[in-house]
Amino acid sequence: MAFCVAEFVLVMQFLWKYIDKIIGKGFSLGILLELIFYFSVRIIPQAVPVTILISSVMVFGNLAEKYELSSMKSAGISLNRIMRTGFIISIFTACFSLLASNYFKPRANYKFLQRYNTISTQNPTLNFEEGVFNNGFKNFIIKIGKKDKDGQTIKNVLIYDNSNFDRRSLNMLVAKKGIMYSKENENVFVMELEDGEQYRELKETKKDENNKPIKTYPFLRTSFKNWKKEFDLSDFDVEARDVNLTRREYDLMNSFQLLTAIDSFDRKLENNINRSTHNFGEMLAVVEQEKKKPNSNIPKHVKEAIEKKDDQVAQKKKKARTGAKVKAQDIDKELSTYASFIETFSNKIQKELARSTKSNVESRHNIINETYLNHKSSMYTRSKYVLTLHQQYSWALICIVFLFVGAPLGSIVRKGGYGYPLLVAIVFFMLFIILNIMGDKLNRAGTIHPILAAWLPNLVIMPIAFILTYKAINDSDFRFVKNQLSVLKAKFFPPKA
């Protein structure tokens, strides 16, 4: 019964949010019930925790209200032993929550989006909203100013045609009114417009007196009384399916698929780090290339000095391995007349080296910037996958935690039925939902780690559950809170003499 109540409340939340997109747009009762069924399966992991909370408060509240809990305690049965059966049930419920998160929810999400896309493609008029640009059809952007209740009659229509090769040229059509519909047994969507005008830029090339081409763009304006256009719905189907099924791909995966996706993101991030490593060794390769060129512009005496220096370095390194002493100042003896290494080249080579170095630095800078943006986007997407993965286990564990919230509360306040337990359940479930939303928002903003965001509700509610369980085991109540409030009231609002 508590599960049905939780499902009903969450389904009502779905209807309140999407009622304006469903009602009055051609959805039959069967289709509406089918979408509600898929959504109800999607929210099972969220409905199970509040089910445990309502049930535990009701059961232990009824036991305490009828003094059955006191009788068991007086017979020597501790509260821990009384809660043992509920604890076992909560463990099985947590396992069911994991099963729903890994198998029921992804499949229901996929079927929900697939069914909605099918309805949208069968009746494309549902996707056109008043005053909103729609780019569902390939190379066309359509805006409808007003749509009548029949869903077909339209007014103040604006269409941009980007099917030309040069999309910078204008090709626009406006019409005062018209109708839109889809042909039965044909994969075609039709728009018949009346009283409109079409504006087009035509690309034309002329030649001047010197026989050189001149680009001109004449503007063509055409008025029409009737205009008919047929759109292929296959393009619309692909666009709608891709947009809806890839927007939140992590909602269509189970734990194993999420782990595989996270591992792929980790490898991608590692590649980005390796790619952005500051390695400027390839810039020195220009010198070696110039040395090896047969027609190099490096002066002969400089080339000989460099080669002689390389030989000396190799010989002295060989002597150093045999124990001979090497003086560092002897290595650059032949090149001591130059202030820097770049002076060993001619002015022409120096300019080429500077130009090449500048080009390499700019190229490396662009690569690093591109890698940084890619790395940042991958980190943001990876955090969503990590958050979804840990939320599955967080929602399962909260089922056990809510038992240690509801059972002590019921035994302390001694109230059963649906009135007080439902109120308590709503308060704690609101806290659970608020903490989930807050963790999700903080994770999206990059403020906290996705693992901490997923486990935030458990970290906040667990201390409350521990305190309530401790109070219930020791047969204490909330009189201390009442006493403290009385002390504060007497302190700040003393009685009048």
Side chain identity at residue 81, one-letter code? R
What is the rounded CA–CA span in Å between residue 469 and residue 412? 10
Task: Round to whole Å and give the CA distance between 276 and 289.
Answer: 25
pLDDT of residue 240: 42
How far is CA 377 from each of CA 272, 370, 373, rounded to the nearest angstrom? 11, 11, 6
Rounded Cα gap, residues 242 and 176, in angstroms: 33
Domains of the chain by residue range: 2-122+386-492, 124-247, 281-374
Identify the CA nearest to 90 among candidates 113, 60, 125: 60
User: What's the pLDDT score for residue 316?
Assistant: 59
Residues 450, 443: contact at Cβ < 8 Å?
A: yes
Q: Fill in the amino acid letter for 431.
A: L
Determine how many CB atoms are found less than 10 A away from the CB of residue 368. Answer: 14
* pTM (two decimals): 0.63
Residue-level pLDDT, tens digit, the chain, 497 residues:
888 888 888 888 777 776 666 665 556 777 778 888 888 888 888 889 888 888 888 888 888 888 888 788 888 888 888 888 888 999 999 999 999 888 888 888 888 877 766 665 555 566 677 788 877 777 788 888 888 877 778 888 888 887 765 556 678 888 988 888 777 666 677 888 888 888 887 766 566 666 666 666 677 888 888 888 887 766 554 444 444 444 577 888 888 888 888 888 888 888 877 776 655 555 555 555 555 555 455 555 555 656 666 666 566 556 655 544 444 455 455 556 666 666 666 777 777 777 777 787 787 778 788 888 888 888 888 888 899 899 889 999 999 999 888 888 888 877 766 677 677 777 888 888 889 889 888 888 888 889 999 999 999 999 988 888 888 887 766 565 556 666 666 766 676 65
HEC string of 305-347 equals HHHHHHHHHHHHHHHHHCCCCCCHHHCCCCCCCCCCHHHHCCH
Q: Which of 469, 481, 468, 472 is nearest to 70 (CA)?
A: 472
CA dihedral for 317, 319, 325, 328, sign (positive or negative): negative
Residue pair 406/55 in contact (Cβ under 8 Å)? The answer is yes
- What distances in angstroms separate CA 475 from CA 64, 80, 305, 413, one per listed residue? 12, 12, 95, 11
